[in-house]
Amino acid sequence: MTCQGAAYVDRRDGQLKHDPIYAAAFMDWCYNARAGQTLTRAVLNRWFASALYGWYYKQPWTRSKIAAFAAAMRVDLDELDRDLTQFRSFNDFICRRIDLSKRPIDRDPRTFISPVDGRLLAYREVAADRVFQIKSAEFDLRRLLADDDLARRYQGGSVVILRLYLADYHHFHFPDSGIPGEPRTVPGRYFAVSPYSRRWAVPFYGENQRSITLFSSEGFGRVALIEIGAFTVGSIQQTFVPHTRVSRGDPKGYFQLGASVVVAVFQPRAVQLDDDLCRNTEAGLETYVRLGERIGRA
């Protein structure tokens, strides 16, 4: 089932658009009905619920869902690296690779590029001890980083939040050249990251499972790159080699089935985020950006 979902500005044409919502009635019930919230808090945000969901959609018989889903969710089939009939399961399609030649990477070393296709929110200065609401979620930098010393290091820095949708390309890439450290896994729950909830400030930034990589970027200093798991996202797969230099646009990893979030946290004065992204954020709107596109500059 689909319906009209969250509003965002498409940066390519400046138009206001809406995401279709998949399984809208069920997710609305889970996050807005009292019984649904109780079930979500008690059961659906646990790892086994997402693991079971993921297991089901890895089965070969789920291939029959791919074509209808791709049509309903407006997936661009021209950028696929193979035909729809070649995917082994619905999850295989969600984790698909694409023809990256169709995603030009901004090679200017003074620019910071988007690591994913996603809907972006940009904050030029975030205090470590400030808790505030972002759409239907509660944001807290200290809980996001799960490290008080790290939170102090990034106190007053900029934050970029990129929300991947279920239909988006689910791989994430390095936003600059540099050397990544070891990813640190923070165990947690699996709340949904899309703005389904109308009254409940979902604490997914501080409670969901996430992976934190400190990235020594050549143009922007030490950047914290954070991937956040979500309901139906059973795992975050990292594919890079720690302590080995990477180039901007190189693959970093991918999410399994479901929507999720990538966050980049900068130290103070390390980046100047693009004005249009900040204006849209101040107006309460996400901006749709694509992998390799500039979102800030040194």
pLDDT-above-70 percentage for the chain: 95
CA dist 16 and 2 (Å) reads 19
Q: Beta strand 137-140 with 251-255: parallel, antiparallel or unpaired?
A: unpaired
Nearest to 228 by CA among 174, 267, 189, 266: 189
23: number of Cβ within 10 Å: 12
* Residue 18: active-site member: no
CA dist 227 and 255 (Å) reads 9
With tokens 């996202």, the residue in question is 233
With tokens 């791989």, the residue in question is 171
Q: What angle do CA 284, 187, 5 make, to 5 degrees?
A: 30
CA dist 295 and 276 (Å) reads 9
User: Among the options 136, 158, 170, 173, which is catalytic?
Assistant: 173
With a CB cutoff of 8 Å and minimum separation 6, the contacts of 28 are 196
pTM of the model: 0.91
Q: Which tokens is 126 given?
A: 């975030």
In this prediction, residue 5 has a pLDDT band, given cuts at 50, 70 and 90, of low
User: Among the options 19, 117, 176, 274, which is catalytic?
Assistant: 117
Span 114-148, pLDDT tens digits: 999 999 999 999 998 888 778 778 888 999 999 99
Average pLDDT on 146-159 reads 94
* Residue 117: active-site member: yes
Contacts of residues 269-276 at CB distance under 8 Å and 24 or more positions apart, as own/partner, are: 270/157, 270/158, 270/220, 270/221, 270/223, 270/298, 271/112, 271/158, 271/220, 271/296, 271/297, 271/298, 272/296, 272/297, 272/298, 273/122, 273/124, 273/158, 273/160, 274/122, 276/11
Span 244-293, pLDDT tens digits: 999 999 999 999 877 789 999 999 999 999 999 999 999 999 999 999 99
pLDDT at position 3: 40
In this prediction, residue 173 has a pLDDT band, given cuts at 50, 70 and 90, of very high
Q: Which tokens is 103 given?
A: 């995603």
User: Among the options 50, 197, 260, 274, which is catalytic?
Assistant: 260
Which segment, 25-34, 134-143, 167-176, 223-232, is predicted with the most confidence on average? Answer: 167-176
* Residue 108: active-site member: no
CA dist 179 and 142 (Å) reads 24
Average pLDDT on 6-22 reads 82
pLDDT at position 1: 38
Nearest to 12 by CA among 295, 287, 285: 287
Residue type, 292: G
Q: Is 238 left (phi over 0), alpha (psi -120 to 50) or beta?
A: beta
Span 210-241, pLDDT tens digits: 999 999 999 999 999 999 988 776 579 999 99
